[in-house]
Amino acid sequence: MLFNSPEFIIFFVFFTLIYFLLPHRWRWVWILIANIAFYMSFTSYYIILLAVIVIVNYVSAIIIDNNRGFSVTIQKTALASAVIVSLGMLFLFKYFNFFASIVASISRSFGLHYSPTVLNFILPVGISFYTFQSLAYLIEVYRGVVKAERHPGIFAVYMSFFPHILAGPIPRPQKLLPQFREEHTFNPEMAVQGLKLMMWGFFKKVVIADRLAVIVNEVFAHPRDYTGPYLIMASVFFSIQIYCDFSGYSDIAIGLARILGFRLMENFRRPYLAVSINDFWRRWHISLSSWLRDYVYIPLGGSRVSRLRWQINLLVTFLASGIWHGANWTFIVWGLLHGAYIIVGIWTKGVREWFVNTVKLDRIIPLQRAIRVVFTFILVSIAWIFFRSDTLSDAFYILTHLPTRTGELIAAIVTGKTATVREITDITKDFMILGFKKYYYRPEIIIAYVSLTVLSIVEIIQEWTGKGDLFVAIPRFPRLILYYLLTFAVLFFGLYNATQFIYFKF
């Protein structure tokens, strides 16, 4: 059941009605039943995998807790055993084939014949998310930040909570776990907040992301059929698509939980208004970036080590981020590229500050900020090319062909050479334009640009006012009008073609 499907809407309405009718002491049972039904609607027999991870982490955490102050060895053994099981499952289902192919390539380079074993598993949806959730729980129990949960049912509910199990946010146990013991009465204000977030998430997903996906999929599937202007357009559109798709999921998940009385952590904070790559990662996929900071970067020493070691720690952390996203060299390059961005930023800090002072940009703060936002977006979009491409070969082809005929097109537009403009932009194939039927292309693009304008205005207002809650900075009357327009847009302009969320495959 995808969030953007009628089946899920029916499922959630039915679940919510029963949830608030049940006595508090039985609600965990109802949530657990819903979690199992929801997860099994994707990959039914992989519920066993999730159950194994739940049981192993539940038992290991209690062993750690029971031996606090008695045996550090037993605590470390329990922690290591659970980590090995959780990461072992993740490796088996997600990375085994990739690393087997690497071993085969290395063997061939030494003249050895090695035929790698290929495991034909369907990747269990959400495995990376609930694996990291389980690791965070174990580490926090080991550190003594939280007590081990003794109620097996509540722990199972925490690990499998259906709003966020498939694509996050990745919760911290000290924030979410206690909420399952709290009695939640129906709160109309929280329900309205949740519905607003859900509507905003659906708007980003079905009106913007899925519409741009048609163009992005076409160009990235056949990059050698297109010249620079269309490669640039597809790259920028993917930057927007992945943001609207993933943040849309997070908004829906947070909204669903809020209707039920739960509060999930914020996962996005207007990342494309970031003024640096560092700032981008404070705003993008916050639950993952903070997880990597707390459980990879800081344990490695963070910035409290030598300058060289600090930069290595940064690269290792971003390498981990790339590997977490997928078993492909494209994701590894994407992660390392972000690490390289930050390291180059460290190296060039003095030069950049000198330049800003020399050209007096420090006296025009809004212009300086706008330039930094645009430059950061360009760097992020270049990295996204590797993330989206099927192979490194495709990614490098797109990067090296972005200028192809782009300058010529700009010159033709400026000089009014309409024949040249038509020749460069004529890409009609069998009555199709970039994945859309020819007579649909223009209205689809208009809807996309209007929707993007709405998204941009809302996020700029939120950034400017510092009020992150949906539309709170907008006066009441125009806010109501905007709600109705959003609902209308979702119902009449959304693409309902059962397109799953991008991050489900991670």
- Return d(Cα 196, Cα 251) in angstroms, integer: 9
The structure tokens 């109802």 sit at 30
Active-site residue flag, 184: no
Q: Do the Cβ atoms of 384 and 239 come closer than 8 Å? A: yes
The residue with tokens 């955490």 is 61
Could you tell me which of 353, 157, 136 has the C-alpha nearest to residue 260?
157
Amino acid letter, 62: I
Instruction: With beta carbons less than 8 A apart as the criterion, state whether 64 and 75 touch.
Output: yes
CA distance 499 to 326: 20
**How far apart, in whole angstroms, are the C-alpha atoms of residue 462 and residue 193?**
16
Stretch (H or E) spanning 340: helix 329-347
**How far apart, in whole angstroms, are the C-alpha atoms of residue 459 and residue 148?**
40
Set 285, 325, 338, 401: catalytic member: 325
* 373-to-224, 270, 460, 485 alpha-carbon distances in Å: 30, 11, 12, 29
CA distance 451 to 472: 19
Q: Can you state the angle between helices 438-465 and 476-493, rounded to 10 degrees?
A: 150
Q: Return the half-sphere exposure (C-beta side, CA atoms, 13 A cut-off) of residue 231.
A: 24
- Give the separation between CA 355 and CA 350, rounded to whole angstroms: 9
Q: Which residues pair with 436 in a beta bridge?
A: 433
Q: What are phi and psi of 354, to 5 degrees?
A: -60, -45
- Residue 475: asked if its preceding bond is cis (omega within 30°), the reply is no
Give the integer Cα–Cα distance in Å for 219 and 390: 12
Q: Which residue type occupies 159?
A: M
- For residues 154 and 54, is the Cβ–Cβ distance under 8 A? no
Integer Cα distance of 421 and 69 in angstroms: 75
Active-site residues: which are they? Answer: 325
